[in-house]
């Protein structure tokens, strides 16, 4: 009986949702041309990043009713054949059960024997009580990558002694055994990453603690991920509560990693490095990776809790970074290389050659490649063409060869992010990806990156005012649209 009622409620929710969301207008001004964003409404963390029948699936935390807040989050869904062109799919998971009615929170996917297993955190609120919520881990499966069925005996991990903050399961398989890393808060004061194991993907037991904050890494670890990279193991996670320290940790929450050794026989992780921030921009959080035939590919939410951006009034909030391939260098630093987007190389707006004055971008997109002698001052300004003194309408990226620093200034409140970086060889090389309301900077081979949002209205210009000299070049190419246009047939059909 309860099951039938739940199904009826889900059906009603679905039809309500369909009429609410069909082709709600989303404005084009800030909507990305080649980054994945929700068709309408709210997006936060990437979830369930996986490859199923030769297609990449990317789910995400989604509120289809409003772009102002996450609400009782759903799992939005998109797929891609090449990690460049994206297609929206209908919502995969609704908060329609007693255990997840206040949010189908973040989680991951495991593909095994032609079935997709989605592991997620089911959130349940208890307003006015202490604690005011509880979190369990739940499972849903699919055999077609489109329709998902929640496991009848959910939740699969209740974790009474781990309440109330235990979330974001990331699951993988190793030698026919299954592993899950979960983020946890010890009494609200110290974060930790817990490892669980299973023989059947359903019954899980706690096996070890991979890492604990011990006062230095904040009160909660969100979205942990654990994987082998170039012979070492990486614990990648998003700790909450690390205090700012000079140029470090300036966002509300951080995303970073610890590299170490891991022994599958004992489940012990031995750190070899300190915690290092993975990106130095304003908007980078809640990363998730997959193993794609031996390549480790990562995406992050390009936004940040508490940042309130003007796109919300345009019908959407949040987007993903471009997928990036990760490797580890000899100093145990993660290097990020963006998956190549569809730049119109033969239609380059500016060919290799000396720097130039402001150049107008045809559709607010650009792939900018810069090479300069390593002692050059380099300055790139990406700005709204029409003069304004509003916040976040331009971005200036600057290299100071004397101090060896890169600065990104998006102009406005809390506008500056900076870090140490020096080119490794004779030349500075930068790749900058611009897309309507975002900028991603890759320094050198990707050993330092910045991901930030900015909000230019109307036309956008790029200027490079540098001391670039001989053997230097600046190439600026527009990037093709590879995600559905807002309000297009393809986009609306996701509903």
Active site residues: 45
Q: How far is CA 492 from the centre of its chain?
A: 23
Bridge partner residues of 305 (DSSP): none
Out of 83, 124, 286, 448, point to the residue binding ligand FRU (CB under 6 A): 286
- Using rule CB under 6 A, residue 290 touches ligand FRU: no
- Three-state DSSP state, 62: strand
**Residue (61 or 67) nearer to ligand FRU, CB:** 61
In angstroms, give the least distance from the CB of 103 to ligand FRU: 6
* Binding flag, residue 108, ligand FRU (CB under 6 A): no
Q: Does 256 bind ligand FRU (CB under 6 A)?
A: no
378 vs 373: CA distance, rounded Å: 10
- Residue 324, interface with ligand FRU (CB under 6 A)? no
For the chain, what's the residue count?
Answer: 495
Nearest CB to ligand FRU, comparing residues 319 and 380 = 319
CA distances to 87, 127, 142 from 400, in Å: 41, 51, 52
Structure tokens at 343: 């730049």
Interaction between residue 70 and ligand FRU (CB under 6 A): yes
CB-CB contact of 443 with 460 (8 Å): no
How many other CB atoms are there within 10 angstroms of residue 373's CB atom?
17
Of the candidates 110, 89, 131, the one whose C-alpha atom is nearest the C-alpha of residue 174 is 110
- Nearest approach in angstroms of CB 334 to ligand FRU is 20
438 is a site residue for ligand FRU (CB under 6 A): no
- Scan residues 150-179 and list those touching ligand FRU (CB under 6 A): 167-168
> Considering just the CA atoms, what is the radius of gyration of the chain in Å?
22
Indicate whether 105 belongs to the interface with ligand FRU (CB under 6 A): yes
Out of 34, 45, 154, 309, point to the residue binding ligand FRU (CB under 6 A): 45
- Identify whether 293 is preceded by a cis peptide bond (ω within 30 of 0): no
**CB closer to ligand FRU, 220 vs 468:** 220
44 in contact with ligand FRU (CB under 6 A): yes
Q: Which of 80, 106, 154, 321 binds ligand FRU (CB under 6 A)?
A: 106
Q: Phi and psi (nearest 5°) for 178? A: -115, 140
Q: Is 121 in the site for ligand FRU (CB under 6 A)?
A: yes
Number of residues that bind ligand FRU (CB under 6 A): 14
Q: Element (H or E) spanning 6, and its range?
A: helix 2-21
Q: Which residues have CB under 8 Å from 87's CB, separation 6+?
A: 78, 79, 80, 484, 490
Identity of the residue, 217 or 434, whose beta carbon is nearer to ligand FRU in the bound complex: 217
Residue selected from 100, 190, 222, 279 as contacting ligand FRU according to rule CB under 6 A: 222
Chain residues that interact with ligand FRU, rule: CB under 6 A? 44-45, 61, 70, 73, 105-106, 121, 167-168, 222-223, 285-286
């Amino acid at each position: 009986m309860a099951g039938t009622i739940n199904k009826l409620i889900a059906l009603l929710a679905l039809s309500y949702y369909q009429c609410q969301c069909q082709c709600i207008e989303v404005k084009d001004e800030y909507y990305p041309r080649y980054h994945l964003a929700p068709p309408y409404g709210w997006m936060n963390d990437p979830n369930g990043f996986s490859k199923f029948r030769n297609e990449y699936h990317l789910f995400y935390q989604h509120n289809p009713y409003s772009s102002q807040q996450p609400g009782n989050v759903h799992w939005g869904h998109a797929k891609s054949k090449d990690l460049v062109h994206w297609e929206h799919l209908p919502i995969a998971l609704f908060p329609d059960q007693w255990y997840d009615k206040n949010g189908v929170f973040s989680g991951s996917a495991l593909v095994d024997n032609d079935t997709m297993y989605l592991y997620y955190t089911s959130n349940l609120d208890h307003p006015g009580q202490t604690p005011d919520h509880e979190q369990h881990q739940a499972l849903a499966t699919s055999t077609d990558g489109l329709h998902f069925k929640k496991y009848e005996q959910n939740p699969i991990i209740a974790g009474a002694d781990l309440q109330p903050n235990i979330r974001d399961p990331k699951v993988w398989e190793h030698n026919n055994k299954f592993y899950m890393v979960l983020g946890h808060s010890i009494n609200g004061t110290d974060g930790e990453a817990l490892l669980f194991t299973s023989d059947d993907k359903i019954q899980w037991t706690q096996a070890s603690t991979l890492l604990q904050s011990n006062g230095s890494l904040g009160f909660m670890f969100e979205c942990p991920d654990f994987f082998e990279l170039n012979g070492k193991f990486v614990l990648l996670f998003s700790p909450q509560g690390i205090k700012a320290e000079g140029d470090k940790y300036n966002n509300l929450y951080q995303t970073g990693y610890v590299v170490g050794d891991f022994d599958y026989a004992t489940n012990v992780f031995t750190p070899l490095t300190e915690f290092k921030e993975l990106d130095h921009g304003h908007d980078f959080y809640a990363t998730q990776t997959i193993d794609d035939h031996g390549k480790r590919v990562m995406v992050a939410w390009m936004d940040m809790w508490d940042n309130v951006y003007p796109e919300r009034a345009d019908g959407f909030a949040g987007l993903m970074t471009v997928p990036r391939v990760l490797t580890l260098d000899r100093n145990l630093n993660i290097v990020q290389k963006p998956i190549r987007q569809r730049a119109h190389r033969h239609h380059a707006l500016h060919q290799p050659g000396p720097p130039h004055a402001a150049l107008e971008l045809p559709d607010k997109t650009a792939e900018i490649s810069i090479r300069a002698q390593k002692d050059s001052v380099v300055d790139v300004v990406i700005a709204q063409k029409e003069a304004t003194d509003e916040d976040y309408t331009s971005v200036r990226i600057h290299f100071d060869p004397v101090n060896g620093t890169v600065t990104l200034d998006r102009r406005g409140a809390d506008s500056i992010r900076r870090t140490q970086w020096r080119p490794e060889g004779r030349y500075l090389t930068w790749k900058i990806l611009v897309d309507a309301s975002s900028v991603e900077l890759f320094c050198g081979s990707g050993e330092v990156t910045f991901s930030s949002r900015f909000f230019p209205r109307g036309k956008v210009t790029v200027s490079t005012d540098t001391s670039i000299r001989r053997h230097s070049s600046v190439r600026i190419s527009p990037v093709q649209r590879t995600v559905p246009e807002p309000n297009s047939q393809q986009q609306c059909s996701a509903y």
